[in-house]
Structure 1
Amino acid sequence: MASDLHPRPIAPLPLQDERWALLHRVAASSAFQKSNRCRELLLFVGERSLRDPNHVIREHEIGVSVFGRPVSYDTSQDTLVRVQISQLRKKIQQYFAEEGKDETLGLELPKGSYSIVFHPRLAEAEQDALDHPARPPWRTYALLGVTVALAAACLVLGLQNRELSHRAQLGLGNKPLVDEFWKQMFQNGLHSYLVLADGNLLVFEDQIKHQISVQEYESKAFERMATRAIENEDLRRLTLNVVYRRFTGIADASLATRMGLVGASNGLSLDVVLARDVSMPQVSTHNTILLGSRRANPWVGLFEEKLNFRTVFEESPKVAYFQNVSPKAGELAEYRGQWSTLSYCRVAYLPNPKGNGSVLLISGTDVQATEAGGEFVTNEIWVRTFRNAMGLQPGEPVPHFEFLLEGKMVVNTVPQFRVIAWRRH
């Protein structure tokens, strides 16, 4: 049994790997000197993340392996692991704020996950240069403006989520067809993640003129991509500064509140996370709701080839649209939006990559279209429309599907939309 008096022995590690070396520098730092428990926890999750990156580390496994809890222990009653994980996050932050401030490689433990994530860091001198650039180009101000706007969006998300539990207790939003719809999709015993679009990734992709793949996104090799694509050193550093900050949009914050309410009302275990903080094992083995376009949420790319309506983005001129792979009579081969007047959204329900869970995709040609998709799956009238279109009888399980919605915008909103095509999988 692991304890403060008898720490678990650490096996020799290949320290030539900079990630291993960083993990042990953090564990040996002053932040962990008086907390053997946190140090053991860091090494356990860190080593497990590196040795077996496809393994999903669970709370129960940590409780048994690190803290000596019996195999039969109940994580809903014993909060030790969650408390220690919270302390571990604080100590990791302390290390990089003090002893590790000059580290070029960082590690963190994203909320909603027990796996360690590694990513490049900017040195303190570089950060200072970004904060006080000499005569920055006009694009610098544009990027800073986007950062401020996205920061405000995160604030809205936090304020809205604080009211979520209270509203659920009041029974707000409970609707029979919506409730049944969500239970059939996600009440399968697996944990669910609501994955918000990565707003700053759009800024980064605009600068490098490249749509990032899910593999590139998970590797977080932003510095290498920026070095290859952006010649101006000041702009490159500022672009990296933006992309390393985690932000989402106000529209996603609003959808998170609405969907979180539906989940809470139906007893569904749902964590709201940013796309940046999700891993392949989580998407592969859990339920996920992916919000946003493929550009803003690269995890959507895992499922594009399985769909009939596929997202396409062209760099010059910038345009996003849906390609209809196999058009039926009366359907178009492409559905292209018109800026500020016409938009499209694809709502798709598929199995996860492992086939044991569910994935709900809500992807629009713009932010307003994605909001329409959220309305489609949380509104009683639209769920009834969906069931009638598919010919489902009362109580009949929801099959895998994809629907394409067309929205007509007025003053950058989507007050009305309609179903223009759908497929049953």
Structure 2
Amino acid sequence: MLTSPINPPETSFRPSRSEWERLLHRVVDSTPFRRSMRLREFLIYVGNEVVLHGAEDLPEQQIGIAVFGRPPSYDTSQDNIVRVNAMELRKRIDLYFTSEGVEEPLVFEIPRGSYIPVFRIRQANPPEPSVDQTAPSEEFLPDSRPSTLEPPAAVPVTVVPRLQVLRHPLTLSLLILSVCLAIWAGIGERRNHQAQASLHKWQSQPALRAFWGNFFGRGLAPEIVIADNSFLFAQDILHRKLSLAEYLDYSYRSAQSPDPLSIDARSQQQKDLTAIFKHSSGSVGDFRVARRITELETGDEGTRLLFAREYAGHRLRWNNTIFVGSSRSNPWVELYEDRLAYHFKEAQDSSPSLVIVDNPHGNEQPQYELSSIPGARTAYCIIVFVPNPTNTGNALILAGSDSQATEAGGDFLTSEDNLEKLQAIFRQKTFPHFQLLLRISSFNGTPLGSEIISYRIVKG
């Protein structure tokens, strides 16, 4: 139970969607929840079910299936994972509202015997005892009495010839000292500029500043969302595409392949999926992209790095967000797919085989094939720069046909030379919202370079 005073139960209510999303954002980012991905998922699930979907009851078995990946037929009397985690979740919620969230006007708890969050308005803290201000201490009163001191007597000024001043040993020493201090100050200022340039690398060159100023220097650290390779592996096992909806309701953990399988093969498939989802895994290429972006701003704002599995979609509405990976490995990219001019078409094994171009014009082809021959290969990266849903920030997507292509896209956007090429194409120094298709050529696994194949300027 919360130890901070709250209103009586009859004043409990259900918050609006925006109130809940903002409160949830602060709670899951707090110290009590920062290192507990499972408890974050637990809280996000039960909270969203109540606030967004109007749930009046949440059975233990439903939570076990949705949050903890239990099979639909599991026995709650034999498996107490939900009850054990609920006890810890209640403690973390209480800890937040009595520490970091002590000033929150809206509070909630999950009463024992239920999994439904109960929201209440926190009562105002009782006023502090008043202090007698009729006789303030003289120690803190300004001295308003008229001064009785006489003005200082005039000091006679003696004019000393300039040559005589310079020959005076003390005066000469002071002059030398002042010159040394001025030189030292200049060196210090130059070093300070160098230090600032290393802290804010995105400001060091014009094109970098023009593009990355859309994400940095805005008082809120941009969030980099790294792909979830477990989601990618699951699609390889199932031989089918999984959706963001399946990712959000956790049904992807118990999904089944459309292929006809024997009972033993299907059982083994479920075991493989269970083993995969016990771990969070990411691509080395994706991490390199995140590192390059993070190196652009190492000051106080910096960046926040999140796995796709721990990301909450409501954050996109008011944050600057960078999604690394295609929708095959980063399911959040699906939110933008209906607006993309370029799409990866997948082969039967669910891996990309083509890039489809919507409404090709000029020298564009309607599709571009990925190719791989011994020692050489051609891949593609889609770069999308668009406003966030509330137009309060921006979203950036770096989606490669494979991890190496995604990494090449990150190299492109953190290069002053490449950004200058984009400025020349757009014929303006500022960057409009755009979509871009890069062709990545490599030899023996080492990228040789990227080439702009097509672009679209996003209007409105």
Fold shared by both chains (TM-score > 0.5) = yes
What displacement does 1:9 show? 6.3
Q: 2:318 corresponds to which residue?
A: 285
| Cα distance change of structure 1 residues 115 and 236 upon mapping to structure 2, 3 Å threshold | closer
| Cα distance change of structure 1 residues 115 and 422 upon mapping to structure 2, 3 Å threshold | farther
What displacement does 1:242 show? 0.2
Q: Secondary structure of the equivalent of 2:362? A: coil
Q: 1:245 corresponds to which residue?
A: 279
Q: 1:342 corresponds to which residue?
A: 378
Q: Does 1:109 align with 2:44?
A: no
Q: Secondary structure of the equivalent of 1:184? A: coil
- Mapped to 1, the partners of 2:350 and 2:251 lie a distance apart of 26
1:152-198 per-position Cα deviation (integer Å, ceiling 9, x unaligned): xxxxxxxxxxxxxxx98844845312133111345555552101111
Q: What amino acid does structure 2 have at the position aligned with 1:218?
A: L
Match runs of 1:176-325 below 5 Å: 176=205, 177-226=207-256, 231-264=265-298, 268-316=301-349, 318-325=351-358
- Mapped to 1, the partners of 2:280 and 2:226 lie a distance apart of 11
| Cα distance change of structure 1 residues 330 and 342 upon mapping to structure 2, 3 Å threshold | same
What displacement does 1:419 show? 1.1
User: TM-score of the superposition, structure 2-length normalised?
Assistant: 0.58
Q: Does 1:87 align with 2:32?
A: yes
Q: Does 1:370 align with 2:406?
A: yes
| Cα distance change of structure 1 residues 168 and 232 upon mapping to structure 2, 3 Å threshold | farther
- Mapped to 2, the partners of 1:242 and 1:59 lie a distance apart of 28
Q: What amino acid does structure 1 have at the position aligned with 2:318?
A: T
What displacement does 1:121 show? 3.3
1:217-256 per-position Cα deviation (integer Å, ceiling 9, x unaligned): 1222123313876752123112222034211011111111
- Mapped to 2, the partners of 1:259 and 1:188 lie a distance apart of 16
1:31-67 per-position Cα deviation (integer Å, ceiling 9, x unaligned): xxxxxxxxxxxxx9xx97xx849942348976xxxxx
1:319-371 per-position Cα deviation (integer Å, ceiling 9, x unaligned): 33321111112111112211351011111101122332211111111111111
Q: 1:121 corresponds to which residue?
A: 69
What displacement does 1:413 show? 2.6
Q: What amino acid does structure 2 have at the position aligned with 1:221?
A: S
- Mapped to 2, the partners of 1:361 and 1:171 lie a distance apart of 24
Q: What amino acid does structure 2 have at the position aligned with 1:242?
A: I
Q: 2:423 corresponds to which residue?
A: 387
- The match for 2:22 among 53, 57, 60 is 57
- Mapped to 2, the partners of 1:320 and 1:260 lie a distance apart of 31
For structure 2, the 5+ residue unaligned runs are: 49-65, 76-194
What displacement does 1:388 show? 0.9
Report if the CA contact (8 A) 1:194-1:288 is conserved. Answer: yes
1:54-109 per-position Cα deviation (integer Å, ceiling 9, x unaligned): 942348976xxxxxxxxxxxxxxxxxx97xx433567x68xxxxxxxxxxxxx422
- Count of matched residue pairs: 309
Q: Secondary structure of the equivalent of 1:356? A: coil
Q: What amino acid does structure 2 have at the position aligned with 1:308?
A: A
What displacement does 1:307 show? 2.1
| Cα distance change of structure 1 residues 180 and 247 upon mapping to structure 2, 3 Å threshold | same
What displacement does 1:308 show? 1.5
Percent of aligned pairs with the same amino acid? 22
| Cα distance change of structure 1 residues 349 and 168 upon mapping to structure 2, 3 Å threshold | same
Q: What amino acid does structure 2 have at the position aligned with 1:119?
A: V
| Cα distance change of structure 1 residues 372 and 5 upon mapping to structure 2, 3 Å threshold | closer
What displacement does 1:295 show? 0.4
- Mapped to 1, the partners of 2:444 and 2:210 lie a distance apart of 34
Q: 2:105 corresponds to which residue?
A: none
Q: 1:357 corresponds to which residue?
A: 393
| Cα distance change of structure 1 residues 12 and 416 upon mapping to structure 2, 3 Å threshold | same
For structure 1, the 5+ residue unaligned runs are: 14-43, 63-80, 94-106, 127-166
Structure with larger Rg: 2
| Cα distance change of structure 1 residues 353 and 234 upon mapping to structure 2, 3 Å threshold | same
What displacement does 1:4 show? 3.6
| Cα distance change of structure 1 residues 259 and 89 upon mapping to structure 2, 3 Å threshold | closer
| Cα distance change of structure 1 residues 86 and 400 upon mapping to structure 2, 3 Å threshold | same
What displacement does 1:304 show? 1.7
| Cα distance change of structure 1 residues 347 and 88 upon mapping to structure 2, 3 Å threshold | closer
What displacement does 1:269 show? 5.0
Report if the CA contact (8 A) 2:381-2:439 is conserved. Answer: yes
What displacement does 1:305 show? 1.8
Deviates more, 1:189-198 or 1:408-417: 189-198
What displacement does 1:259 show? 0.6
- Mapped to 2, the partners of 1:329 and 1:256 lie a distance apart of 34
Match runs of 1:62-77 below 5 Å: none
- The match for 1:330 among 363, 366, 383 is 363
Q: Secondary structure of the equivalent of 1:349? A: strand
| Cα distance change of structure 1 residues 323 and 11 upon mapping to structure 2, 3 Å threshold | farther
Report if the CA contact (8 A) 1:179-1:262 is conserved. Answer: no
- Mapped to 1, the partners of 2:425 and 2:277 lie a distance apart of 41
Report if the CA contact (8 A) 2:214-2:394 is conserved. Answer: no
Report if the CA contact (8 A) 1:198-1:276 is conserved. Answer: yes
Query: Over aligned residue pairs, what C-alpha RMSD do you find?
Result: 3.7
| Cα distance change of structure 1 residues 195 and 320 upon mapping to structure 2, 3 Å threshold | farther
